[in-house]
Amino acid sequence: MSDCLFCKIVKGQIKSDIVYQDDDVIAFRDINPQAPHHILCIPRQHIATVNEFTPTQAPLIGKLVLTASNIAKQLQVDQDGYRIVMNCNRMAGQTVFHVHLHLLAGRPMHWPPG
């Protein structure tokens, strides 16, 4: 997707503060952090929303979660705790239509979220 912000980050056309990358996923710091640690884990492949996930992408979806938990361990927030969130479409507040998993940590998280 040539006009997708996160595809541009994947291609290196927009700079980002990358904390992890491999052949399938990239993780980088959110430009507008909502917690002391706010990292986005995305697939390199363009997938617009969680609604477009297919069964064959199950390993990729799992890898996004594993990437987040590994980063949480590296940041040493795994024992205190953290939140992972994927917003889907308008009512959830999705603004970038390339699926991404938010990793939020470093402050108490309220439930239910606003």
Catalytic residues, which ones?
100
Tell the smallest beta-carbon distance from residue 32 to Zn ion (Å): 19
User: Is the CB of residue 39 less than 8 Å from the CB of residue 103?
Assistant: yes
Positions 84 through 103 that interact with Zn ion (CB under 5 A): 98
Residues in Cβ contact with 12 at an 8 Å cutoff, skipping those fewer than 6 apart: none
In the complex, the smallest distance separating the C-beta of residue 107 from ligand AMP, rounded to whole angstroms, is 15
Which CB sits closer to ligand AMP, 51 or 55?
A: 51
109 binds, among Zn ion, ligand AMP, none (CB under 5 to 8 A by kind): none
Span of 47-55, 65-73, 90-98, 104-112 interacting with ligand AMP by CB under 6 A = 90-98
From 29-37, 54-62, 66-74, 106-114, give the range in contact with ligand AMP by CB under 6 A: 29-37
Would you state the structure tokens that stand for residue 41, as one six-digit string?
């884990």
Cα–Cα distance measured from residue 56 to residue 59, given in angstroms and rounded to the nearest whole number: 7
Task: Enumerate residues 6+ apart whose C-beta is below 8 A from 113.
Answer: 85
Amino acid at 31: I
Size of the site for Zn ion (CB under 5 A): 6
In angstroms, the CA 78 to CA 4 distance is 31
The site for ligand AMP (CB under 6 A) is made up of 5, 14, 16, 30-32, 40, 87, 93-96
